[in-house]
A = this chain, B = another copy of it.
Amino acid sequence: MKILDLKQIKKVLSSIDVIPAIEAGFVAYSRGKAVIPPVAEMLFDNPPGDVHIKYGYLLDDDYYVIKIASGFYDNPKLGLSSSNGMMLLFSKKTGEIKSILLDEGYLTNIRTAAAGAIAAKYLAPKYIECVGMVGAGIQGKLQLKYLKSVTNCRDIIVWGTNDKELKIYKKEMELIGYRIKTTKNIDEIERKCNLIITVTPSKKPLLRARNIGKGVHITAVGSDTPEKQELDSTILDKADIVVADSLKQCMERGEIFHAVKNNLISLDKPVELGNIIFGKNPGRTNEDQITVADLTGVAVQDIQICKAVYSEL
């Protein structure tokens, strides 16, 4: 049994490509070959916090994974990150624990960024003029890091509301080879970028439909609850293809949830990312299409990234 701390996990991650593992996870999920029971949760009032236990396994596999992820929102006052957690990998043949990954929530960030890269790989136009990043936090940085392997475009416009955060974003992302323009005006992203990624916790739509032109792909990453929303739902109506990481989950939360609830798209419009990867549904078929991917985060991503790290030990 191996126990890894965050430093050791980051070292392993630097030497592996998690994207194929997570693609395989989406495919297994969409083909009904993954067992993902309902999320278990605890909610706390004082101090405010929540704990989610996500768990499951692939049918054709030797392991099951249990992920514990917490958010305690007063932690920054104590100098601690609000998110924390771990992943546990067990033998599906004996129940023995094989590995404890004390990732403090980091692997969740990475599997989310990898899913963004996968969405871009299958849905973004071939020629990307400029990438728009709506949100300048940790996830906005990781998205660029993982996007590098699936696109050639290095020109980025990043939108944010905090000058200091934008300045840090620019500095850090230029160090890994991007040209970064910062903006506080979201119009700029809507008009100039044909690959847009939204990574905010916004509860009001940020991107409007009117400026979204032909040939744009949008990956919405931020909304993972029924309250959060980053896209004006009419964008999903306007889109030629709407993709969910999990149809089941996207009917309960995220951008698709809002669009269906407001009768702007029909229930049968969204298709599942795993089915696009697998070829059951087409992805982008021409350069003029508008496409939207709604990523709410599925436990199969956790299972796959945990196994990918474990397989390197």
Contacts and interface: CB of A to CB of B under 8 A. Distances in A.
Nearest to A35: B42
Interface stretch (A52-60, A117-125, A126-134, A238-246): A52-60
Interface residue tally on A, bucketed by range:
35 or more
Interface string A71-85: 110010010100111
B66 A90 contact: no
A95 B72 contact: yes
Interface in A79-104: 80, 83-86, 88, 90, 92-97, 100, 102
A47 interface: yes
Interface string A25-59: 00000000001011011101001010101011100
Contact of A96 (B37, B55, B84): B84
B84 A51 contact: no
A70 interface: yes
Question: In the complex this chain forms, how many copies of it are found?
Answer: 2
A47 B53 CA distance: 24
User: Interface residues of A: mostly helix, strand, loop or mixed?
Assistant: strand
B44 A37 contact: no
A14 to B, nearest CB: 24
B80 A96 contact: yes
A146 interface: no
A93 B53 contact: no
A260 interface: no
Contacts of A38: 40
A64 interface: yes
Residue of A72, A93, A95 with most partner-chain B CB within 10 A: A95
Nearest to A82: B95
B97 A86 contact: yes
Nearest to A95: B70
Interface of A: 1, 3, 35, 37-38, 40-42, 44, 47, 49, 51, 53, 55-57, 64, 66, 68, 70-72, 75, 78, 80, 83-86, 88, 90, 92-97, 100, 102
17 contacts: A1-B102, A3-B3, A35-B42, A37-B41, A38-B40, A40-B40, A40-B55, A42-B55, A47-B93, A49-B92, A51-B95, A53-B66, A71-B95, A72-B94, A80-B94, A84-B95, A97-B102
